[in-house]
A and B are shown apart, each in its own frame.
Chain A
Amino acid sequence: MELTGSQIVIEELKANGVEIAFGIPGGAIMPFYDEILKSGFPHILARHEQGATHMADGYARVTGKPAAVVTTSGPGATNIVTGLCNARMDSVPIIAITGQVATPMIGTDAFQEADTYGCTIPVTKHNWLVKDPRELQTAVREAVRVATSGRPGPVVIDFPKDIQTMTAEYIPHRTQETVPAGDIHNDAPELDMQAIDQLLEAIERAKRPIIIGGAGILKAGAAAELTEFARRTGIPVINTLLGLGGFPGTDPLSLGMPGMHGTAYANMALCECDLLINLGGRFDDRVTGKVSAFATKATIAHVDIDAAELGKRVHTHIPILGDVRDVLLILNTQAKERDISAWQDQIGEWKREHPLQYDRDGSIKPQHVIEQIQEVSGGNGIYVTGVGQHQMWSAQFLRFNEPNSWVTSGGLGTMGFGLPAAIGAKVGRPDKDVWLIDGDGSFSMTLVDLATAATYNIPVKVAILNNAYLGMVRQWQELFFEKRYSNVHYPENPDFARIAEGYHVRGFDVKDVDQVRSTLEQAAEIDGPVVMNFHVSKEENVWPMVPSGAGNSEMQLGPPVSEERT
């Protein structure tokens, strides 16, 4: 049947399981917005395009499904670059559809023209500039497929205005593949059984094995398989920042997060292990520290769906290309139970000696608020963060029971990610309570989307750990620049509770440690968005810390904790 370009895109998005769009209209995308209205395609109007991308990002992380982001040309498109880059670094599928000036105008510096295609090459898995309506159906189908297959990632379809109204033949339910395919379509590469045998042998020999569970566990839906594997073999599990939730945080085998602000025992285990099995993690610099000092005693095995990750930063003895769930299924049928109790005891001792801890001095400690959120929510919510100290404390002190219950910006470290991502997460999982733990600096960047939360009454619970600083940068300045605090202080931070009220959202201002619990409980009961402004102790630092570029063994534990410990 003959459809307009806009209709083709809507139909093909629907046919490929895309159920919702986030965006903002503008001149060059108007025909498509007209079709959104006519077709009733679900759409959330954001207040800034960057927010729209983070919404789609949060939505995808909790549902595993991609959402569309729709923007106009020019500034609409340039405003999503950060969100795309963020999704690219963290392997999150997003289908961005950007309006573009009409094809005859392209290249003339027309009004609101930007080279979206060129600009987004580095931040997408692939991108398309569609200049012929007959190419649209294939482009959209391929876009969804590329975004969601293999190692997921964002894609862009640049959609000129004239193409939006031109018509072309649309074939419903077309599935036949027409595009010559390279490696990008290889979702399930043939497994190297020899390498898997090598890994099984290594496991048999190992006395001090460790698993790193990365984001790949969650992308592959392999949390149950990982749990089975760890429990069967007794191998302790470390989860990277993005891998948290891939293994139950309450399990005795869980060591929490490794790396710069990881737990002491995770880093010690990495230093001492003789076999390191990395399942879908990418040996990020924040995890490894100095590569030459990383897991020096270990045989390293690495399972990843992305061939380019194998051996990229860390020399790997047993590289296995494949879907981590496929590999775990095989391992679970063949790995034997083993006695590594000496190693487990050693780790237990480290855990007792160097627990996560903080001083309680009567002020509101950020860690305390996070622990209370954990208790009030029963650990069954979805937890979202911005970027900075609060993010690290959340990663340390929250205990995740389920996969896809943790939404945070890892690779790009995008401040301002939190609020829009939380909105997207709640849209994706309306059945879950969504808690945003944010810093004042991070929250300030994108708080404009409170208007979005208010408009659609999306009940996200926002806890701002307000220390009136860009805390992480301040921490570095304290430690490495003799407390010379340059441009990190917000001495006149706004009254966030009143800002919330300005947006018709309930706001709480909390200065007393005794009110923390009751405020959180109240917030949990409110049917609508809530903003809680916790005035936390200002110069709290995140410990432990591996200084940037140092090896994990050079970890600093922080000053001794006085009085009551947690």
Chain B
Amino acid sequence: MRQVFSILVNNHAGVLSHVSGLFARRGYNIESIAAGPTEDKEATRIVIVAFGEKTTLEQIARQLRKLYDVREVQQLAYNESVTRELVLATVWADVTKRTEVLQIANAFGANIVNISDETVTLEASGNDHKTRILIKALERYGIANMARTGMIALPFEGMTEDWEPLA
């Protein structure tokens, strides 16, 4: 199974080495990793999507908590958190295909950031589900180049147990 780890760490050099080194050393599988500043300028949030057995995921959380610079580890389940990823994709689309691609972009609320004779570059953000479907839809035309930020996540605040998330 997959799980999102939202890790709040002290913001100084070397933290990322400690975190990524732990995953490599223990043989844990990372699907994506994203890091960025938070509301506290002395802290950084690292979001890691990992997959493995349930016991392994639990072990990951415990090992992460042992790291000196890790202040807090949240294990987020999909239905209890909001997740977003930004995708930039350049798709093969000459004049004959361009309209189709633009329609897809429109349907997914993606922005067009560049158009050349042969390609269209678009920018989309969304949860894991949405980005996957979008990429699948674009693959038909051939993706010339793609960059993804990796997922970032925050827990839904004020949730009750019977609450149905929308995102």
A residues whose Cβ falls under 8 Å from a Cβ of B: 117-118, 121-122, 125-127, 129, 142, 146, 179-184, 306-308, 310-312
SS of A interface (majority): mixed
B111 interface residue (CB < 8 Å to A): no
Contacts of B62 in A (CB 8 A): 307-308, 310
Query: Contact flags (1/0) for B14-56 with A, using CB distance below 8 Å?
Result: 1001100100010000000000000000110000000000010
A308-B63 in contact (CB<8A) = yes
* Listed A/B pairs (17) with beta-carbon separation below 8 Å: A117-B17, A121-B14, A121-B17, A122-B21, A125-B68, A142-B68, A182-B69, A182-B72, A183-B66, A183-B70, A184-B66, A184-B67, A308-B63, A308-B66, A311-B55, A311-B59, A312-B59
> A448 vs B164: C-alpha distance in the bound complex, in angstroms?
69
Max count, chain B CB within 10 A of own CB: residue among A117, A308, A310, A311: A308
B132 interface residue (CB < 8 Å to A): no
User: Closest approach, in angstroms, between the C-beta of B85 and any C-beta of chain A?
Assistant: 27
Which single member of A118, A121, A182, A308 contacts B70 (CB below 8 Å)? A182
B10 interface residue (CB < 8 Å to A): yes
> A306 vs B59: C-alpha distance in the bound complex, in angstroms?
11
> A93 vs B50: C-alpha distance in the bound complex, in angstroms?
32
Which single member of A122, A129, A146 contacts B68 (CB below 8 Å)? A146
Contact A307:B17 (CB < 8 A) given known A122-B25, A180-B10, A182-B72: no
B59-A184 in contact (CB<8A) = no
B58 interface residue (CB < 8 Å to A): yes
Contacts of A127 in B (CB 8 A): 14
Contacts of B43 in A (CB 8 A): 180
User: Closest approach, in angstroms, between the C-beta of B69 and any C-beta of chain A?
Assistant: 7
B68-A307 in contact (CB<8A) = no
> A182 vs B42: C-alpha distance in the bound complex, in angstroms?
14
Known: A122-B25, A142-B68. 13 other contacts (CB 8 A): A117-B14, A125-B68, A126-B69, A179-B10, A180-B43, A182-B68, A182-B70, A184-B68, A184-B70, A307-B62, A308-B59, A308-B62, A311-B58
Contact A126:B21 (CB < 8 A) given known A180-B10, A307-B62, A308-B62: no
Within 8 A of A (CB), among B51-100: 55, 58-59, 62-63, 65-72
In the complex, number of A-B residue pairs with CB atoms less than 8 Å apart: 54
A180-B42 in contact (CB<8A) = yes
B66-A129 in contact (CB<8A) = no
> A458 vs B128: C-alpha distance in the bound complex, in angstroms?
65
> A181 vs B17: C-alpha distance in the bound complex, in angstroms?
19
A183-B65 in contact (CB<8A) = yes
A306-B66 in contact (CB<8A) = yes
B65-A307 in contact (CB<8A) = yes
User: Closest approach, in angstroms, between the C-beta of A177 and any C-beta of chain B?
Assistant: 14
> A179 vs B68: C-alpha distance in the bound complex, in angstroms?
10
> A122 vs B20: C-alpha distance in the bound complex, in angstroms?
11
Contact A182:B71 (CB < 8 A) given known A129-B14, A307-B65: yes
Which single member of B14, B17, B59, B67 contacts A182 (CB below 8 Å)? B67
> A126 vs B9: C-alpha distance in the bound complex, in angstroms?
14
User: Closest approach, in angstroms, between the C-beta of B153 and any C-beta of chain A?
Assistant: 19
> A122 vs B21: C-alpha distance in the bound complex, in angstroms?
7
User: Closest approach, in angstroms, between the C-beta of B105 and any C-beta of chain A?
Assistant: 42
> A341 vs B69: C-alpha distance in the bound complex, in angstroms?
51
Contacts of A126 in B (CB 8 A): 18, 67-69
> A516 vs B107: C-alpha distance in the bound complex, in angstroms?
88
Contacts of A181 in B (CB 8 A): 71
Which single member of A117, A118, A180 contacts B71 (CB below 8 Å)? A180
A131's closest neighbor in chain B, by CB? B13
Contacts of A125 in B (CB 8 A): 68
Contacts of B67 in A (CB 8 A): 126, 182, 184
> A125 vs B55: C-alpha distance in the bound complex, in angstroms?
23
Max count, chain B CB within 10 A of own CB: residue among A181, A183, A184, A307: A183
User: Closest approach, in angstroms, between the C-beta of B130 and any C-beta of chain A?
Assistant: 33
Contacts of A121 in B (CB 8 A): 14, 17-18, 21
Q: Enumerate the 9 nearest inter-chain pairs by beta-carbon distance, A residue then B residue, closest first.
A: A126-B68, A308-B62, A183-B65, A307-B62, A182-B71, A182-B70, A121-B21, A308-B63, A184-B68
User: Closest approach, in angstroms, between the C-beta of B92 and any C-beta of chain A?
Assistant: 41
Contacts of B71 in A (CB 8 A): 180-182
B62's closest neighbor in chain A, by CB? A308
B43's closest neighbor in chain A, by CB? A180
User: Closest approach, in angstroms, between the C-beta of A186 and any C-beta of chain B?
Assistant: 9
> A310 vs B66: C-alpha distance in the bound complex, in angstroms?
13
> A311 vs B59: C-alpha distance in the bound complex, in angstroms?
8
> A306 vs B62: C-alpha distance in the bound complex, in angstroms?
9
Contacts of A129 in B (CB 8 A): 13-14
> A127 vs B15: C-alpha distance in the bound complex, in angstroms?
10
> A462 vs B97: C-alpha distance in the bound complex, in angstroms?
82
> A307 vs B73: C-alpha distance in the bound complex, in angstroms?
14
User: Closest approach, in angstroms, between the C-beta of A192 and any C-beta of chain B?
Assistant: 15
Contacts of A183 in B (CB 8 A): 65-66, 70
> A312 vs B27: C-alpha distance in the bound complex, in angstroms?
14
Contacts of A118 in B (CB 8 A): 17
B42's closest neighbor in chain A, by CB? A180
> A150 vs B98: C-alpha distance in the bound complex, in angstroms?
61
Contacts of B63 in A (CB 8 A): 308
A142's closest neighbor in chain B, by CB? B68
Max count, chain A CB within 10 A of own CB: residue among B62, B65, B69, B72: B62
Contacts of A310 in B (CB 8 A): 62
A308's closest neighbor in chain B, by CB? B62
